[in-house]
Amino acid sequence: MSALSPLLRRTSKTGIYATAVLVLVSLLGLWLASVYADRGPWYAEYGALRRVFAFVVGAGLGLAIIAGELIDSREVRNFRRVRLMGAWCLACLAGLALTWLFPRPTIAGAQAAFTAKDFDHASTELLAAEARGADPSEVARLREALAADRERRAASAPPPKTRDDHLLDRIGDDSLRVDTTLVLRREWRDPDKQAVARKRVLDRAQAIADAAWEAEDGAKLARIARDTAGIDEAFTAECEQRAAIATAQRCLERQQSQCARESLRPLDALPEGELPPALTKRLEVLHAELGEAPEAEG
């Protein structure tokens, strides 16, 4: 375009003609590129489609400059530029002719693609080479190799994912409540995969609950128990018991004895031996801090 700039500055008429030539030749380039691609899938995907268009546009640029010079007045014409652009156009046309003929699909190219494990390329080039009259024995040999490799890949490929697999993949991506809903409310066709999903939710919930217990976060433990209700009764009960003790501990720290007693009342009502030993000791410590003995079961 730098070569066109002087022409455009000299006269708008010259610039308009030069631009028109360039646009028309570019449209011709698009048409030729489509004709090249229509020769077959190999030409469209693996051929020299861009080079075809580039050579035509290059020739169009040269013709535009020539047109601008010839349309301009004789006094300002630059014949040296015309000759130079004429040679440029011829070079572009020669490049276009060579590109139209080469590269072309061959058995050697298909074999190279097969060796590189580009099987789609190999198959496409094999078909194109066969259409061009390649050696039938070479075509048959490579086709057998492609078929054998296709069968081998099909045999080693993992089975397609089922609906249960997609549900299983979703476990852990959202909240415990959503995960619990996926496990308990969705229809699972494979009970084993549902069991795996249940265990994943339980393991994740256990880790979160342990962290909340370490932080003595009773509210979070109670929320975990609600969100995972139905996943595992023992886990739910453990979360509720831990939540009661953690809440009572927080109440005592705030010197709210009545709050602590209310939190511990469900634990006091449990049958003897139902509360785990570690929690039983914590319960006794809390009652000692409250200055009272645990309530006996009525």
**What are the domain boundaries of the chain?**
5-101, 107-156, 164-290
CA 118 to chain centre: 21
Asked if 48 and 54 count as a contact pair (C-beta separation under 8 A), the reply is: no
Reading the block at residue 139, the tokens are: 């075509």
pLDDT digits (tens, 9 = 90+) for 99-141: 999 889 999 999 999 999 999 999 999 999 999 888 999 999 9
What CA–CA distance (Å, rounded) separates 165 from 194? 10
pLDDT digits (tens, 9 = 90+) for 206-251: 999 999 999 999 999 999 999 999 999 999 999 999 999 999 999 9
Give the pLDDT confidence score for residue 7 in this predicted structure.
Answer: 46
Angle between helices 107-115 and 119-131 (to 10 degrees): 170
Cβ-Cβ contacts under 8 Å for 31 (sequence gap 6 or more):
none
Rg (CA), the chain: 40
3-state DSSP assignment of residue 297: coil
Asked if 17 and 70 count as a contact pair (C-beta separation under 8 A), the reply is: no
Q: Whole-model pTM?
A: 0.52
Asked if 171 and 197 count as a contact pair (C-beta separation under 8 A), the reply is: yes
